[in-house]
Chains A and B, each alone.
Chain A
Amino acid sequence: MSTTTGKAAESAKVQAGPGTVKSPAAGPKGSRSRRKPSLGMQNMAGWLFSTPFLVLFLVFMAVPIIATLVMSFTDFGLRNVTHPLDANFIGFENYTKLFSDEKFLKSLFNTAYFVVIGVPLTIFLGLIVAVLLNNGIDRARTFFRVGFYAPVVTTIVAVAVVWRFVLDPSDGLVAGLFSEVGLTAPDFLGSEKLAMPSMIAMAVWRNVGTVMVLFIAGLQAIPTEVREAARLDGASIWQEFRGITIPLLRPTMLYATVITTIGYLNVFEEPFVMTQGGPSDSTLTVSLNMYREGFNFFHMGYASAMAYVLFVVIMGITVLQLRLLKDNTK
């Protein structure tokens, strides 16, 4: 890319080592015929093209994932940030401690609450909007689609700040709506009962667009002949929806459910900005709890154990969803 055309490979060798595979020079043994490059060449090229990603993956992902596991069996603390090897091995102590830690159990419960209410709502609303956009209207379809998708792309921190104000009981948008009909708005984020539902509302608002786009793509993949055949047979719109649309959307539904669930299980920014876990830990999620234990209190071994518990929960739920939803198709 950088230097001129011609024998680009020669210059590429200098600036980006890994990809340099200009044919014969690279492997002395490979070429059995001059005209058709051998499979040995491709083998070599394949690995050279993979190297940059693999190196980054190894250093910044694979090793840290394993390191988290190792750390979770130690008393890794602030001191160990500079002297990691001095951390003491303490076996399963962090894990046993977790399950008697009321704060952690509460954060687990809060996260579950968020997922159990939030995911179905997001999927349901996303499906409704997609079906309406796909079948109900011809005009302004793009306009609506852009509108529903816009929250997805915006900076979550900024959006959370905005929602904090929108829900402000005295001068927020929702307070305004309440006062229009002569009511006083409750303190949504300041109430132990309402803080989490408010956060769920915001998450649904933000993520409905993703699910909508997935469903639109899924709907458009359904062959029109199938629908037309159903119509000729006199199927009502509802029958068409139940009998054709829903079954054929199963794969999309599966994918949308899994990614939404994974996203919601990791919820962090919303409580961090909107409530900081309060009031009285009612919006403390596992991720926020882990962040605090790890980076505010530097109980990094303990926080690592939390990260792994969350990871196991996520994997477990994902596998379960894949099973349940796949089996239903048969």
Chain B
Amino acid sequence: MSATNAPGAVSTAPSKKPGKAERKASGREPRSPKRIFVYVLLSLGLLIMSAPFLWMALSSFKTTSELTASPPVWIPTEWTLDNFRDLLDKLDLPLYFMNSVIVAVLVTVSNLVFCSMLGYALAKLKFAGRNKIFGLVLGALMVPGNLMLLPLFVLMSKLQLIDSYAGLVLPFAAGAFGVFLMRQFMQSIPDELLEAARMDGAGEWYIFWRIVMPLVKPALATLSIFTFLGSWNNFVWPLIATNDPDKYTLPVALATFATDPNKAGGSNGMLMAGSFLIVLPVLVVFIALQRHFTQGIATAGMK
């Protein structure tokens, strides 16, 4: 990008560039060669970061002979949709897609409601036990998910919720991360505002829904994105909580397909097509909403 005009600026036309660079670099000498070096370094890094995605995307359009060619073919000479067609023949992707969507939507909605409720209580209500509950939330943040898989499976079997949406949703219906995030945001709402509403006779439920929730919309957006994505990408629990292929979520369906030598063990074309179809929506959503992602991570990290 900048590599095209910047080198010229150094050697031949110093009169034009500095003005622009100086303003940005706050008084420092324009360090063009150094800057180019940084750009080259970052571009190289970016290439490495995106290479697997590019490889996946390109490979999913290759013919079988090009997929198995050795040395490998970089760019398909003959673009084909056969991999997608074969995959859809063998794997009921629309079904798994719907399963993933239903589970993710339910998980997201319940997290928005329950985490906000507790977040509000922790941030704005003075009640006995508040600190203990907050301690519990912080503790829950640190407990690895693996620790409850086994009894959770037994519990779900007992409740006959294996192979049900409820079984997939309930363990994730309210996460500590959400409480933490909502509490952080709600703390910044001035107490005077809520006090005024209380003086006017508003109940806490009304204040919560009508005053607080509209004020924390950005936080709700961040939380929905994270929760939806967390559910979409979740693997271990759906793997355990489903036996019936009709209830598989996308990752479970793909993993089962990919690790079963009788199914697609060898067919990289189909696997790349499948990965492409799972990863693409996530990437599109991410690129569209990237600001919320970085903001959410940063907020959670600042404490």
Contacts and interface: CB of A to CB of B under 8 A. Distances in A.
Nearest to A221: B302
Interface in B109-153: 113-115, 117-118, 120-122, 125-130, 133, 136, 140, 142-153
Contacts of B13: none
Contacts of B72: 171-173, 175-176, 179
B148 A179 contact: no
B126 A255 contact: no
A36 B70 contact: no
B297 A269 contact: no
Interface range on chain A (Cβ under 8 Å from partner): 35 or more
A272 B120 CA distance: 40
**Which of A23, A165, A173, A179 has the most chain B CB within a 10 Å cutoff?**
A165
A52 B170 CA distance: 12
Interface in A29-63: 35-37, 39, 41-47, 49-50, 52-54, 56-57, 59-61, 63
A9 B50 CA distance: 51
Interface in B254-274: 254-255, 258-259, 268, 271-272, 274
B174 interface: yes
Nearest to B257: A161
A310 B275 CA distance: 31
B55 interface: yes
Contact of B301 (A44, A56, A168, A255): A255
B240 A295 contact: yes
Contacts of B53: 150, 162
B173 A56 contact: yes
A307 interface: yes
Given A171-B69, A273-B259, A52 B251 contact: no
Interface residues of B, number: 111
Contacts of B154: 67, 80-81, 84, 300
**Which of B155, B209, B271, B298 has the most chain A CB within a 10 Å cutoff?**
B298
A311 B129 contact: no
Given A57-B140, A136-B38, A45 B121 contact: yes
B52 A52 contact: no
Given A145-B290, A162-B275, 19 more contacts: A21-B203, A45-B125, A46-B125, A53-B174, A57-B176, A82-B158, A132-B41, A137-B39, A150-B53, A154-B233, A155-B275, A155-B282, A158-B275, A161-B258, A170-B70, A171-B67, A173-B55, A205-B49, A272-B235
Interface of B: 1-2, 24, 26, 28, 34-35, 38-39, 41-42, 45-46, 48-53, 55-56, 59, 67-72, 74, 113-115, 117-118, 120-122, 125-130, 133, 136, 140, 142-155, 157-158, 170-171, 173-174, 176, 179, 198-199, 201-206, 208-210, 229, 232-233, 235-236, 240, 250-252, 254-255, 258-259, 268, 271-272, 274-275, 278-279, 282-283, 286-287, 290, 293-294, 297-298, 301-303
10 contacts: A50-B118, A57-B140, A68-B150, A136-B35, A157-B278, A172-B72, A205-B52, A214-B297, A272-B259, A294-B149
